[in-house]
């Protein structure tokens, strides 16, 4: 299904950077994950701002820590929490932020090859259509629970 455009937040003010990685026009902030056991699925959250002048697309994400990574969107339908895969990449227009955060878009780590222990760090590579591949370290944090009941991610 097509991504719903509410995740796009106009970045009209300069925000202070937290654990930012230089990635050309892509400003990547607060890459984090939750504790999970080997063999299960993990989750990744990150904020990606396109500071460039042209639109870009987040095509895919990969990590040596899992068999594959999918982009998902959490939503509630008829009172039931569900997740849908984002097909065809996630467009990030110039000057906007794609926010992967609890109860919204998230990165789903399918088939963890290693446990994700609290405090550990692991690399994830974000592949953009124009900005190319960008590898950032995700930190395993306790984080806040998903604000919506029944929603795990």
Binding site for Cu ion (CB under 5 A): 72, 83, 108, 153
- Of the two residues 34 and 153, which places its CB atom closer to Cu ion in the complex? 153
Is the CA virtual torsion 77, 79, 83, 86 positive or negative?
positive
Q: How far is the CB of 11 from Cu ion (least distance, A)?
A: 25
- Of the two residues 51 and 60, which places its CB atom closer to Cu ion in the complex? 60
What's the Cα-to-Cα distance from 36 to each of 66, 78, 81, 90, 115, rounded to whole Å? 11, 29, 20, 25, 6
Q: How far is the CB of 127 from Cu ion (least distance, A)?
A: 19
Q: How far is the CB of 87 from Cu ion (least distance, A)?
A: 14
Within 13 Å, how many C-alpha atoms sit on residue 29's CB side?
A: 16
- Of the two residues 25 and 89, which places its CB atom closer to Cu ion in the complex? 89
- For residues 27 and 14, the answer to whether their CB atoms sit within 8 Å is no
- Of the two residues 87 and 94, which places its CB atom closer to Cu ion in the complex? 87
C-alpha to C-alpha distance for 131 and 127, rounded to whole angstroms: 8
Q: How far is the CB of 58 from Cu ion (least distance, A)?
A: 16
């Amino acid at each position: 299904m097509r991504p719903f455009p509410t995740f796009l937040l106009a970045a009209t003010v300069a925000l202070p950077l937290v654990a930012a990685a230089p990635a050309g026009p892509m400003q990547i902030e607060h890459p984090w994950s939750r504790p999970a056991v080997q063999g299960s699925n993990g989750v990744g959250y990150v904020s990606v701002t396109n500071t460039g002048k042209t639109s870009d697309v987040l095509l895919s994400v990969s990590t040596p820590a899992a068999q594959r990574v999918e982009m998902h969107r959490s939503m509630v339908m008829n009172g039931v929490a569900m997740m849908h895969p984002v097909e065809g990449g996630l467009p990030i227009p110039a000057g906007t932020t794609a926010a992967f955060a609890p109860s919204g878009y998230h990165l789903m780590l399918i088939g963890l090859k290693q446990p994700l222990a609290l405090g550990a760090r692991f690399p994830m590579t974000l592949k953009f259509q124009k900005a190319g591949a960008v590898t950032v370290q995700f930190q395993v944090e306790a984080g806040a629970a998903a604000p919506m009941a029944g929603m795990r991610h």
